[in-house]
Structure 1
Amino acid sequence: MNDSFYEESDAGLILAAEECPPEKFAGYHSFSQSDEIIIRKLSAHGPVLLRGGRGSGKSALLIESHRRMRAAGTVFSIYMSLRYLPLLQSDGDEYIGHFCSLLSKAIASELNAQNLSAEFDIAENEVSLQISLAKLAQALSKRIVILFDDAAHIGREKPLEIFFDLFRTLSSSATSCKASIYPGVTKFGVRFDVFNDSTVIDISRSNVLADGNYFIEVIKARYPNLANRDIFSDRLTPEIFAKLVGRAVVGNMRAFILACNRFDDRVRISIPEVNTCIIAMAEDYYWPLMEEVAPKLGVYEPLITPSMSIFEAIIDHLCKPLRGNVKATAQDRVTIHRHYASQYSKIFEILEYLGFIAKREASRGMKSGGRGPVFAVNLCSILEKVPNKRLTIEMINDWIEARPDLAEIHQSAATFSSITIPELSRDDSLGILNKSIDVLAKSRAYPYGLTEDKIYRLKGAGIVTVQHLAEASDADLLKIDMVGRAAIRRMRDVMQQAIWM
């Protein structure tokens, strides 16, 4: 077994930038002019928080920043993924100990990778880590930039306060900390003021008018065939196609790539083919996300059912004017009264993180009175509920030009009247860890999951739960018959997808 087999058969896993082989990164990633601005900010001095939903491109931007800083040689940068199981299962001093050890090893490894003679001892606490970083900056005569990826986890929020305390503590004139976070993070701790102690950069591309050429630039770089005008029907162009698909997935890059993959070998693309793709994304991508994310939400796992109910209620509200022939195009953006936004805050956070919705504005006045945030809703789920499920050129133009009026869900509306929120357990452990290894099998939730043969072999070796696999070393896995390096990488990637958000 070899890596080339892995890459050809499981290219979808490379959708996760942090799992992309370093030597393949440049071939799979390209960056727009707006991305270049973000990369420069990540490389500059000062603490930065990069905020975006799952698959929005946070990891790719962090990794590209690290690659460029390493190539330039004027700054010593460290890219560090916090996908480390003990960090999810610890708190307080234990968390700090794991964090300091993990960062120390990452720094030592980066020094070795760059053939730098400076040494870095394993730090046991934040004080010794601060001192060691100051000494390293002096020894190298360089500014240090630390890029923390996957710093936040919706299902395990308690350690976040400790992380942001460490983030603030380590930031200095010689050391700049950057981190990726998801929308809605609120537990920053009492010592960390998110806007005074950092610069927050939001990755939001749901407004295709504001990001006019972004998605066509991605298509030209990654799918040159889709940039060819000749393969599109008369009423479609590569630019319209790119904007429509980008808006359909509310700007989420992972979903955009998955949608474009469906057209990569097409010799002719017309509106019915795009229609089929958008409907399929609702069925094969969006709803399976709920199934996948549920067991990793910890204390919030019971919120999956009301999350689905609230989202379905929003879709029904947006499509209501169509049923009375009042409008020809479903509304695709909605202002939700701040009362509901507050009451169901965690649910809206989950929906935004997964890419079902994207916040356009934090607050806007409503015709019906009051104020509330504005959310853009993915077009895949809307089209799925449109009568006849038929996409027209008029709907395409209306959606990419943001023509439909904003829908409103006001405080006295009955839209969410049937929604009940279950009481949350005090146990914030992640249910996914105790699940049988069978949950990692190929399915709609894990399309690049493990084969029956690999699951059988893992069970035969005593690895029967997801946590067993997470704790197994490569040496342990290599002892299993017919399991090689490529199979281990596949197992690790699917396991990471299962545990982390």
Structure 2
Amino acid sequence: MNDNTQDFFAEEENLFIEQAEYIDETAFLKWSIEQASENSIIRKLSQGGAKLITGPRGCGKTTLMLKTFHKLRADSKASSLPIYVNFKTSLQLEPLYKKGNVNAVFWFNQWLLFKVYQGLFRTLKEIEKTPPSTLKFNEQFVERVTNQLELGRIDKLTDEDDYLLTHSSLEDDIKKVLLSLGKTRCVLLLDDAAHAFSSEQQRDFFDFFRQIKSRIISPKAAIYPGVTIYSGRFHVGHDAEEIDVWIKSDSSDYLDFMFEILERRLPNEVYQALLANEPLLQLVCYAAFGIPRALLNMIRGFYKESTSSTDALTFEIDFNKSKALTAIKSSFDNTFSIYSSLKVQLPIYEHFILSGEQLFDNMSNRVKEYNKNKEIGTQSISIGIKHPLPAEMLKVLGFFQYVGILLPKGKISMGNAGVYEIYVIHYAALILRNVLFGKSSVPVSQLSKALHEYSPRYYPKITPNSLMGTDDLLSLFKLALPPCQKCGTPRVNEHAKFCIHCGAILKTGSTFGEIVKRDIEKLGLSETRVQSIKKHSDIRTIKDILMDHDNRELRGVPGIGEIWAKRIRSLAEESIS
């Protein structure tokens, strides 16, 4: 195998890892692309003040946080010290809240503080600086306590006073580090924050976020739209500025940005071959709906690499309309399945989520009817729903934003006709459901052109009741409350603590417990891969993967090396985030 071939396969290990936190730094800096508002966002993340960056899964929140981290870390003259913390595995602590543990909030806050300590030690290690000897804890102690907390083994932490951390003690230690480095501020980059937590954890996190903010500590958190629950004392706008980082697929520079991602990531021969069918490549980019992760996932199926008898690297390209539509459907189905899976993560909203599937269908069909017999330039990609919208419908629309299948564009006043809230529908749904032109068999060039030349002036307007075909919306959006475990009496509401019939304490199940009990087939692995893992290891559930801390069990399965073990573990972690 020649050097060029070896280099390609070395890069291929990182090439289609979609999540930025799993890409090594060299590849990350080489492949990451600058979006239009990126400099402004990174500047805000690098400076003082509390910020919340928001956007759906895969839109680039982690990329922006890591870019900020690497920028500050590499600048020896910067006045700010970056600390990056990822809370992806936070649901491992959620069972503490469900076991009647009166100290659940205390231990969760301890975990948050220890995670910041972990990030502090990692930063010092990356900039090759020795931690001051006067810090409250050393790195080994922090790692041990954090692991015990994540395993739920608080019984191992026998003397609470030995582990007691406060916001002020953490701030004191950060101040010592800043003084030793000649810096004045710590920028705290909190990734997978809030949205990875249970509802109780979310409220406690935002209390933590408020308290950790100080003259020398500037916290920044990545959150999801639609599902984040703030504490009663936290107010967006006052306690933190919210920054929307979703790349808008209707922006003038959208295609340029997506094409640059592909040009950076793909072998030149592959990129040029795909570019030869530019209208189709544009359609695939549009179908990603502003999510780079979705684009990379689709593109991976359009080519294969191999080596010839002379070790020369060759590529087999398979890029046509049929192949592209199959990739678009698979990508959108995967995205929509995340929405459907909310029934497990948010069981109380099961009826909301099921009715939401009908709501999305109705929105798509209404726009499809509107588009029939209309020309390019008057085709609609959005729908206007008359204000005010019921809180129940807004909750579902928030879930749509969380997974990235609906983009809110704000309110528009139509004078005496009222005010309408405008929502853009996922472009993949527009393509797959023949919403554009209201018919099938539309040439690719026409589909791409319709998306490129759409006008925001054209959209159907409808009331919430008409959209769902009923005047009784509340019947469609009922909370799925578990009955009393003792007598079976239905609960009065989601806040009830005691049964109104027998007086028994009403228990709630653990979201984390339900998710990790699921079979590994739920991770989206191929059936062959799942069967191989089950045959050659004791791994059966998502929990088994999470408990395999060093991936030793996974790496013992034929065909699974270090790279695949990391990928499978990332899928397991993603399922609880």
Report if TM-score (shorter chain) is over 0.5. yes
Mapped contact 1:249–1:355 kept (Cα < 8 A): no
1:207-356 maps to which residues of 2 (within 5 A)?
A: 207-212=249-254, 213-223=256-266, 228=272, 231-232=275-276, 236=278, 241-242=281-282, 244-263=283-302, 277-279=327-329, 281-283=331-333, 285-290=334-339, 293-322=342-371, 325=373, 331-340=380-389, 342-356=391-405
Mapped contact 1:232–1:270 kept (Cα < 8 A): no
Once structures 1 and 2 are overlaid, which stretch shifts more, 215-224 or 139-148? 215-224
Tell me the equivalent position of 1:369: 417
User: Residues of 2 paired with 1:208 and 1:153: CA distance?
Assistant: 26
Establish whether residue 498 from structure 1 lines up as the match of residue 575 from structure 2: yes
Once structures 1 and 2 are overlaid, which stretch shifts more, 381-390 or 143-152? 381-390
Establish whether residue 110 from structure 1 lines up as the match of residue 186 from structure 2: no
Once structures 1 and 2 are overlaid, which stretch shifts more, 293-302 or 66-75? 293-302
Establish whether residue 382 from structure 1 lines up as the match of residue 430 from structure 2: yes
Tell me the equivalent position of 1:132: 173
Tell me the equivalent position of 1:399: 451
Would the alpha carbon gap of residues 316 and 102 (structure 1) be closer, same or farther in structure 2, given more than 3 Å must change? same
1:65 Cα offset (Å): 1.0
User: Residues of 2 paired with 1:32 and 1:498: CA distance?
Assistant: 28
List per-residue Cα deviations over 1:177-218 (Å, max 9, x = no partner). 111001125522232221122221101323433445433333
Mapped contact 2:384–2:462 kept (Cα < 8 A): yes
Establish whether residue 51 from structure 1 lines up as the match of residue 54 from structure 2: yes
One-letter code aligned to 1:457: H
SS at match of 1:340: coil
List per-residue Cα deviations over 1:260-285 (Å, max 9, x = no partner). 444566869777765565455445x3
1:308 Cα offset (Å): 1.5
Mapped contact 1:183–1:349 kept (Cα < 8 A): yes
1:42 Cα offset (Å): 1.4
One-letter code aligned to 1:376: V
Mapped contact 1:87–1:99 kept (Cα < 8 A): no
One-letter code aligned to 1:19: Y
SS at match of 1:107: helix
One-letter code aligned to 1:467: K
Establish whether residue 477 from structure 1 lines up as the match of residue 482 from structure 2: no
User: Residues of 1 paired with 2:275 and 2:562: CA distance?
Assistant: 40
Once structures 1 and 2 are overlaid, which stretch shifts more, 216-225 or 134-143? 216-225
User: Residues of 1 paired with 2:347 and 2:204: CA distance?
Assistant: 18
SS at match of 2:198: coil
1:179-194 maps to which residues of 2 (within 5 A)?
A: 179-185=221-227, 187-194=229-236
1:313 Cα offset (Å): 1.2
List per-residue Cα deviations over 1:275-331 (Å, max 9, x = no partner). 565455445x344434555433454355432222211111111112356x4667752
User: Residues of 2 paired with 1:44 and 1:209: CA distance?
Assistant: 27
Once structures 1 and 2 are overlaid, which stretch shifts more, 107-116 or 142-151? 107-116
SS at match of 2:136: coil
Tell me the equivalent position of 1:467: 543
User: Residues of 2 paired with 1:86 and 1:152: CA distance?
Assistant: 14
Mapped contact 1:282–1:384 kept (Cα < 8 A): no
Mapped contact 2:359–2:467 kept (Cα < 8 A): no
User: Residues of 1 paired with 2:562 and 2:332: CA distance?
Assistant: 34
> Please, which of 151, 156, 159 is the counterpart of residue 193 of structure 2?
151
User: Residues of 2 paired with 1:369 and 1:241: CA distance?
Assistant: 40
User: Residues of 2 paired with 1:225 and 1:88: CA distance?
Assistant: 48
User: Residues of 1 paired with 2:248 and 2:35: CA distance?
Assistant: 15
1:148 Cα offset (Å): 0.6
Mapped contact 1:69–1:76 kept (Cα < 8 A): yes
Would the alpha carbon gap of residues 207 and 112 (structure 1) be closer, same or farther in structure 2, given more than 3 Å must change? closer
Structure 2 unmatched ranges of 5 or more: 1-7, 97-103, 138-163, 304-314, 482-493, 495-507
Output the TM-score relative to the length of structure 1: 0.83
Would the alpha carbon gap of residues 395 and 150 (structure 1) be closer, same or farther in structure 2, given more than 3 Å must change? same
Once structures 1 and 2 are overlaid, which stretch shifts more, 162-171 or 386-395? 386-395
SS at match of 2:204: helix
SS at match of 1:474: coil
Establish whether residue 27 from structure 1 lines up as the match of residue 30 from structure 2: yes
Would the alpha carbon gap of residues 322 and 368 (structure 1) be closer, same or farther in structure 2, given more than 3 Å must change? farther
Would the alpha carbon gap of residues 422 and 391 (structure 1) be closer, same or farther in structure 2, given more than 3 Å must change? farther
Establish whether residue 81 from structure 1 lines up as the match of residue 90 from structure 2: no
- Work out the percentage of aligned pairs sharing the same amino acid: 22
> Please, which of 446, 461, 466 is the counterpart of residue 408 of structure 1?
461
Would the alpha carbon gap of residues 26 and 98 (structure 1) be closer, same or farther in structure 2, given more than 3 Å must change? same
One-letter code aligned to 1:254: R
Once structures 1 and 2 are overlaid, which stretch shifts more, 263-272 or 171-180? 263-272
User: Residues of 2 paired with 1:478 and 1:228: CA distance?
Assistant: 37
User: Residues of 2 paired with 1:107 and 1:97: CA distance?
Assistant: 15
> Please, which of 193, 196, 205 is the counterpart of residue 238 of structure 2?
196
Would the alpha carbon gap of residues 137 and 190 (structure 1) be closer, same or farther in structure 2, given more than 3 Å must change? farther
Mapped contact 2:336–2:403 kept (Cα < 8 A): no
User: Residues of 1 paired with 2:300 and 2:35: CA distance?
Assistant: 20
SS at match of 1:334: strand
One-letter code aligned to 1:465: T
User: Residues of 2 paired with 1:183 and 1:100: CA distance?
Assistant: 25
User: Residues of 1 paired with 2:522 and 2:26: CA distance?
Assistant: 31
One-letter code aligned to 2:177: L
1:9-28 maps to which residues of 2 (within 5 A)?
A: 12=16, 14-28=17-31
Establish whether residue 453 from structure 1 lines up as the match of residue 532 from structure 2: yes
Q: Aligned residues, how many?
A: 481
Tell me the equivalent position of 1:433: 516
User: Residues of 2 paired with 1:473 and 1:270: CA distance?
Assistant: 42
Mapped contact 2:521–2:530 kept (Cα < 8 A): no
Establish whether residue 174 from structure 1 lines up as the match of residue 216 from structure 2: yes
SS at match of 2:383: strand
Please tell me whether Structure 1 or Structure 2 has the larger radius of gyration of its CA atoms.
2
Tell me the equivalent position of 2:480: 424
> Please, which of 169, 175, 182 is the counterpart of residue 141 of structure 1?
182
Would the alpha carbon gap of residues 478 and 216 (structure 1) be closer, same or farther in structure 2, given more than 3 Å must change? closer
Mapped contact 2:258–2:292 kept (Cα < 8 A): no
Mapped contact 1:152–1:181 kept (Cα < 8 A): yes
Would the alpha carbon gap of residues 256 and 464 (structure 1) be closer, same or farther in structure 2, given more than 3 Å must change? closer
Mapped contact 1:282–1:381 kept (Cα < 8 A): yes
Would the alpha carbon gap of residues 371 and 229 (structure 1) be closer, same or farther in structure 2, given more than 3 Å must change? farther
SS at match of 1:205: coil
